[in-house]
Amino acid sequence: MIPRTLFTAEHETFRNTVSRFMKEQVIPNDDKWQNQGYVDKEIWQLAGKLGLLCVGIPEEYGGAGADKLSSMILIEEQAKANISSLGFGVHSDITAPYLLNYGSKSLKQKYLPKMVSGEMIGAIAMTEPSTGSDLQSIQTTARRAGSNYILNGSKTFITNGWNCDLVIVVAKTDLAKRAKGTSLFVVDTSMEGFTKGKPLKKMGLKGQDTAELFFQNVSVPQENILGHENDGFIYLMQELPWERLQIAIGAVAKSRAALDWTIAYVQDRSVFGKQVGEFQTTRFRLAELSTEIQIAQVFIDRCMELIQANQLDVETASMAKYWTTDLENKVVDECLQLHGGYGYMWEYPISRAYVDARIQKIYGGTNEIMKELISRSIGLGVNKK
Ligand SMILES: Cc1cc2nc3c(=O)[nH]c(=O)nc-3n(C[C@H](O)[C@H](O)[C@H](O)COP(=O)(O)OP(=O)(O)OC[C@H]3O[C@@H](n4cnc5c(N)ncnc54)[C@H](O)[C@@H]3O)c2cc1C
């Protein structure tokens, strides 16, 4: 094994805290949350108390000002715990950074401390019923009216959508333009005209609330715009590499966990008087998966070094997202196969990992879109003749 060199002793102490939180507070509730389709809000407040939310937010807004490696640890431990419910990543490492990086001082003061404590749950709403991959074609509008914007439209598939207290909404401030007419707004549930649909029923991540959001003549104060009007697309492009790397981190950690469960299982299960793990086909298959996971880990760890130095580019993040989530889906499929019929039973972690893995190739930009971005970076843009 190639030793990982990213983490300090302090990081490892933090990892123990996160791992204990997962074991004691989250895993025992995961089935209940899966059945109801959302987590109880108390878990957010508890996580806030323990310093597990928005760890990267600076101390002046109540956070720990920690580095992205701490976020990586949170993602890895959640993946290892095989949790199908928490939307902490979207809240802490996707939504909060938009506020931090593009929000005015007063917006940050108003919302970030409450996000750190778990009093307010955040979400980000880009996708609409009629458009997901083609983000430039969104139809939600924000029309200026005096010192406010009037927001109209709907969003779908929004993680934390049922539980959220504030949402970053991607809307068109100039419908005639595509990317250059896009702006980002902080909308909170106290604003009249903002309503939510019920949590959507999904094939996996069943405890994570995913919902539709509706905006009907919502009056959003001008100070709730992030950055400058019409620059929203630039901000999205700046933030997406980290969002995609987070998905990749989870994919590698889940692949490793699935491999570990399977190595244990094949040594325990006997067929034709032999352990399943003694068949050469099993040993070679697991050796191959182990190799690919190791390669993925080295790549992801290098991407972490780059993102910490603000040097991770769009195409490398896209490579990480598409390749590791494809790998994760291959790993959970082949590991489930090695469990035989037991792999199909809900009480076995591999069956949960299998259904949860599928979305990884879709959200955060589909893997086809990742290949589109990579192909452009190697000079194969659509409009090139
Ligand atoms: C559980 C879950 C959680 C989610 N969370 C969020 C969230 O928090 N916030 C949010 O805004 N969104 C969220 N999404 C939405 C997600 O990001 C979108 O579903 C995704 O981007 C794909 O968009 P779409 O569903 O509209 O598919 P479409 O864009 O309709 O794509 C359909 C198919 O066409 C392919 N395709 C599209 N364009 C091209 C192209 N140019 N070349 C080749 N193939 C192409 C796609 O890859 C896909 O296979 C979530 C979705 C799910 C299911």
Highest CATH level, class, for 234-377 = mainly alpha
| CA–centroid distance, residue 359 to ligand 1 (Å) | 10
Q: Which of 182, 202, 366 has most ligand 1 atoms within 8 Å of its beta carbon, as the pocket-test mutant?
A: 366
| CA–centroid distance, residue 362 to ligand 1 (Å) | 6
Question: Which of 332-364 are b and which e, b meaning 16 or more Cβ less than 10 Å from the residue's Cβ?
Answer: bebbbebbeeebeeeebbbbbbbbbbbbbbebb
Which residues surround ligand 1 with Cβ inside 6 Å? Answer: 90, 124-127, 131-133, 157-159, 202, 205, 210, 359, 362-363, 365-366, 368-369, 372
pLDDT of the residue at 383: 60
What single-letter DSSP state applies at residue 271?
A: E
Q: Is residue 134 packed enough to be buried (19+ CB in 10 Å), middle (13-18) or exposed (0-12)? A: exposed
The pLDDT tens digits of the residues spanning 316-336 come to 999 999 999 999 999 999 999
pLDDT of the residue at 382: 67
Which runs of consecutive H residues, i.e. helices, occur in the chain? 9-21, 27-36, 41-49, 68-81, 88-89, 96-102, 105-117, 232-268, 280-308, 314-338, 349-357, 367-377
pLDDT of the residue at 385: 47
The pLDDT tens digits of the residues spanning 161-189 come to 999 999 999 999 999 998 999 999 999 99
Q: Which of 77, 128, 239, 243 is catalytic?
A: 243
pLDDT of the residue at 51: 96
Q: Which of 84, 91, 95, 133 has most ligand 1 atoms within 8 Å of its beta carbon, as the pocket-test mutant?
A: 133
Which residue stretches of the chain have pLDDT < 50?
384-385
pLDDT of the residue at 381: 75
Chain centre to alpha carbon of residue 323: 16
| CA–centroid distance, residue 248 to ligand 1 (Å) | 17
243 has catalytic annotation:
yes
| CA–centroid distance, residue 19 to ligand 1 (Å) | 31
| CA–centroid distance, residue 202 to ligand 1 (Å) | 15
Pick the residue whose CA is nearest to atom 43 on ligand 1: 368
Pick the residue whose CA is nearest to atom 32 on ligand 1: 133
Residue 138: closest CA among 172, 91, 163:
172
Residue 140 region by backbone torsions, left for phi larger than 0, else alpha for psi between -120 and 50, else beta:
beta
Residue 363: closest CA among 325, 307, 315, 314:
325
Average pLDDT, rounded, for the chain:
96
**In the chain, domain spans:** 9-117, 122-233, 234-377
Pick the residue whose CA is nearest to atom 6 on ligand 1: 158
Nearest atom in ligand 1 to 367's CA: 47
Nearest atom in ligand 1 to 204's CA: 1
Highest CATH level, class, for 9-117 = mainly alpha
Pick the residue whose CA is nearest to atom 4 on ligand 1: 157
Chain centre to alpha carbon of residue 275: 38
| CATH number 2.60.120.1140 given to 122-233 | no
Cα 64 to Cα 62: distance, rounded to the nearest angstrom? 7
| CA–centroid distance, residue 212 to ligand 1 (Å) | 14
Look up the pTM and report it.
Answer: 0.97
> In degrees rounded to 5, what are phi and psi of residue 9?
-60, -35
Q: Which of 91, 139, 362 has most ligand 1 atoms within 8 Å of its beta carbon, as the pocket-test mutant?
A: 362
Angle at 276 between CA 270 and CA 282, to 5 degrees: 180
